[in-house]
Copies of this chain bind each other. A is one copy, B any other.
Amino acid sequence: MPDVTPGPVAVDTMGGDHGPGAVVAGAVAAARADGARLILVGDGPTIHDLLAEHGASGEVPIAHADETLSMEEGALASRRKPRSSIAICCRLIRSGQAAAMVSAGTTAGVVATARLRLRGQHGVMRPAIAVTLPTRPRPTVLLDAGATTDAKPEMLVQFAALGTAYAQVAFGVAAPRVGLLTIGVEPGKGNKVTRRAHEMLAAIPVDFAGNIEGDDLLTGGVDVIVTDGFTGNVALKSMEGAVRLAVAEMRTAMTATPAAKIGALLQRKRLRELAERLDSETYGGGVLLGLNGTVVIAHGGSNARAITSACALARDLSAGQIVERIRERVAVARLPRFGRRGHGDQPELVFGE
């Protein structure tokens, strides 16, 4: 599929732990190095001054936003603040002035605002946050990382379609293999939702590799891992906590001989890097899929380099027409009429248009 020239990426400068300075620095680098077309959204005078600092006045257009969603504000604020920087980013997408957006704001705030203002794309029941796990030889997409906490089996099946489209566009995997996160590898294992989802996934045209367990998340055995937002979020944070404990364990081992300490320091460095990779590539850093527009949620702690990467990802996803690819995949994942078994609030199990 040939990439199209994508529209600009709206960049929320008000989110993130490091303030507008880091976001603008990262955006300017993306505009200059990658030639990404951007719109900087936030407090106009602040952005103006920051651009001047980089000698980039006039290089990147600015869209002023009166309000900010603070890190403490959750989902409710998205209704109360129609002129927040995140809401303005969504408005630029709705009006066709932007093709995608990047925000390092709180995940809850970005998800709630984007759901409200971009709305779900046709045929998709619920959105999902796709995160990238640092597996080898190539990365694994896990979704949902927290957007839809009470997912029905039909939604998990759609997540398989969303994740397949994402792995194709973001990583160029021709036929992504999809695993279902559950407990026990046999088809009959799991809870009610995953048992039903397993049956459904086996009946639609995705490359379904079957059940996978928590200890398979980082082994790279599949390209896409499907789970509900509650389980996905718990699993991701559990992995982060375990690696953080491993780093702490290393610290207590630092009483060895000076010669040994050199090795120990090298090892700790590697572990810390692993912890950071798990942290920044997973929870809090992801792509919200299934809405009428591409939303890249950068990690709250993103530095300028991470913002540059997020801008490039947003540009690449809209160049790869991720929203259109999802529409096609969800239509392909249209299920045969299953007997109802007490799941789903949809009148029938027909996905797509």
Interface residues of A (CB under 8 A from B): 74, 108, 146, 149-150, 181-184, 186, 190-192, 194, 213-219, 228-231, 233-246, 249-250, 253, 256-257, 259-268, 270-271, 274, 278
B259 touching A259 by the CB < 8 A rule? yes
- Which B residues lie within 8 Å of A228 (CB)? 191
Q: How far is the CA of A243 from the CA of B244 in the complex (A)?
A: 10
Cβ-defined partner of A238 (8 Å) among B239, B249, B256, B265: B239
A149 touching B190 by the CB < 8 A rule? yes
Output the nearest chain B residue to A247 by Cβ-Cβ distance. Answer: B246
B146 touching A183 by the CB < 8 A rule? yes
B271 touching A266 by the CB < 8 A rule? no
A267 touching B253 by the CB < 8 A rule? yes
Q: How far is the CA of A70 from the CA of B292 in the complex (A)?
A: 52
Q: How far is the CA of A249 from the CA of B250 in the complex (A)?
A: 14
Q: Could you name 15 residue pairs across A and B whose Cβ atoms are closer than 8 Å?
A: A146-B183, A149-B192, A182-B230, A217-B238, A235-B235, A238-B238, A238-B239, A239-B239, A243-B243, A245-B274, A246-B246, A249-B274, A250-B267, A263-B263, A263-B266
Given A214-B240, A259-B262, output 7 extra A-B contacts at Cβ < 8 Å.
Answer: A149-B190, A214-B234, A230-B231, A238-B239, A250-B267, A260-B262, A260-B266
CB-based closest 6 A-B pairs: A263-B263, A214-B237, A260-B263, A215-B241, A214-B238, A263-B264
Known A-B contacts A249-B274, A263-B267, A267-B263; the reply to A234 vs B183 at CB < 8 A is yes
A250 touching B270 by the CB < 8 A rule? yes
Q: How close is A77's CB to chain B, nearest CB, in angstroms?
A: 14
- Which B residues lie within 8 Å of A214 (CB)? 233-241
- Which B residues lie within 8 Å of A182 (CB)? 230, 234
Output the nearest chain B residue to A275 by Cβ-Cβ distance. Answer: B246
Cβ-defined partner of A230 (8 Å) among B183, B240, B243: B183
B264 touching A266 by the CB < 8 A rule? yes
Output the nearest chain B residue to A135 by Cβ-Cβ distance. Answer: B245
B242 touching A239 by the CB < 8 A rule? yes
A257 touching B262 by the CB < 8 A rule? yes
- Which B residues lie within 8 Å of A268 (CB)? 267
Q: How close is A239's CB to chain B, nearest CB, in angstroms?
A: 4
Q: How far is the CA of A35 from the CA of B266 in the complex (A)?
A: 48
Q: How far is the CA of A112 from the CA of B238 in the complex (A)?
A: 28
A234 touching B237 by the CB < 8 A rule? no
Residue of A182, A191, A236, A250 ringed by the most chain B CB atoms within 10 A: A191
- Which B residues lie within 8 Å of A241 (CB)? 214-219, 239
Q: How far is the CA of A297 from the CA of B256 in the complex (A)?
A: 37
A249 touching B262 by the CB < 8 A rule? no
